[in-house]
Amino acid sequence: MAVTALVWLAASGLPALASPRCLSLPDGSSLEVSEQLRPTLSGEESWRINYTFTDAYGARTGVVPPTMDATRDSAPFLALDATGSAVLVWSRSDGLYRKIAYARFAGGNWTNFHYLTFGVGDDDLPRIGTDMTGSYLFYAARTDKYLYAPLELVTGRLFAAPRFLNVGGTRRDIESPRPPGNVALRGGVDAPVTGQHGRQLLAGGMTIEGGTDVPVVSGIKAAVWAVGSSGDCRHLILVVPARDLESVLVFRFANGLIQLLQRVDMPPQITYRFGADTAASYVPLVCN
């Protein structure tokens, strides 16, 4: 079904989801964000989020202001709010744990920086989906659990405390019995990342390299965990990686309730858009 859906999407001319790191804005301009690994004088690793804003006057690059300090910032994700402005969510250390942060890009400036999540434990890989009822923040926890909360995009305010996704009988396929290993890049690596069981993550046009100003692929899980949505649809699509990274589970999501649609085997080689493209292929199937 997944392969058929992908072929149907391409043949129909329907657009796939925009890259979570690149947005086309309503006025014809575009915004792109990327991670950058910075070696510090002490030899420690420090991450920041770069951005490129392109309009009729050309391209302007910079650093998202809150990320210029030594705090680790990673996993940026862009979305459009109801006014047509760009919203950025990402994982940022609060000094003890990684939490989900928020900032808004409007009028050529970054504003309204604050944290969306709090408490004990690491929060990572934020995603945003918008349906007819509103927007949701989704993110991953360290124990291979996934959480969601309704989100007001313009102000960056959660309408309710985050809740765990109830994945039902697929829990044993998704959640690790112990803290999982970490598949990630380190500085100075310019070869494809190899995950468990020889699965290979292809750059897909991105340079995988530490200490530069190009996007950094942070791991296979980041490439396959995705949310597909359409503002005129009552359902969202969630693509959740199995913990063995051999397959993904595709769910339909509606107001906190989820239903398993399909298990899709992962090919030996994937690009960083595998999850987003898979999610996009299922959106037309649940929007009827």
Residue with tokens 């920041």: 48
The most confident of 39-53, 185-199, 213-227, 261-275, by mean pLDDT: 261-275
- Assess contact for 34 and 7: CB atoms under 8 A: no
Q: What is the CA radius of gyration of the chain?
A: 18
Q: What are the tokens at 182?
A: 């970490």
The domain of 217 spans 2-18+89-286
How many CA atoms are closer than 13 Å to the CA of 281, on its beta-carbon side? Answer: 21
Q: What are the tokens at 18?
A: 């925009």
Closest CA to 251 of 234, 267, 235, 266: 235
Distance between CA 115 and CA 160 in Å, rounded?
A: 14
CA distances from 288 to 161, 172, 197, 234, 251 (A): 31, 31, 38, 9, 16
Q: Phi first, then psi: what are they for 177, rounded to 5°?
A: -70, -15
- For residue 239, being part of any structural domain is answered with yes
β-strand partners of 228: 237
Longest dimension (CA), the chain: 56
Question: Quick one: the chain helix, strand, coil %, rounded to 5?
Answer: 15, 45, 40
Which helix (H) or strand (E) segment holds residue 276: the answer is helix 274-286
- For residue 47, being part of any structural domain is answered with no
- For residue 143, being part of any structural domain is answered with yes
Cβ neighbours of 253 (radius 10 Å) = 22
pLDDT score of 206 more than 70:
no
pLDDT in tens, 52-94: 999 999 999 999 999 998 888 999 999 999 999 999 999 999 9
pLDDT in tens, 4-35: 333 333 333 333 344 578 999 999 999 999 99
pLDDT at 111: 96
Least confident span in 51-60, 141-150, 174-183, 259-268? 174-183
- For residue 7, being part of any structural domain is answered with yes
pTM for the predicted model, two decimal places: 0.80
- For residue 58, being part of any structural domain is answered with no
DSSP state of 119: S
Residue 258 backbone class (left: φ over 0; alpha: ψ -120 to 50; beta: rest): beta
Mean pLDDT of 215-238: 83
Residue with tokens 């124990």: 143
- For residue 75, being part of any structural domain is answered with no
Domains in the chain: how many in total?
1
Distance between CA 58 and CA 52 in Å, rounded?
A: 10
Percentage with pLDDT > 90 across the chain:
60
pLDDT at 197: 42
Instruction: Dump the DSSP string for 192-260.
Output: -EE-GGG-EEE-TT----TTSSS-----HHHHH-EEE--TT-S-EEEEEE-TTSSEEEEEEEETTEEEE
pLDDT at 43: 58
How many CA atoms are closer than 13 Å to the CA of 98, on its beta-carbon side? Answer: 19
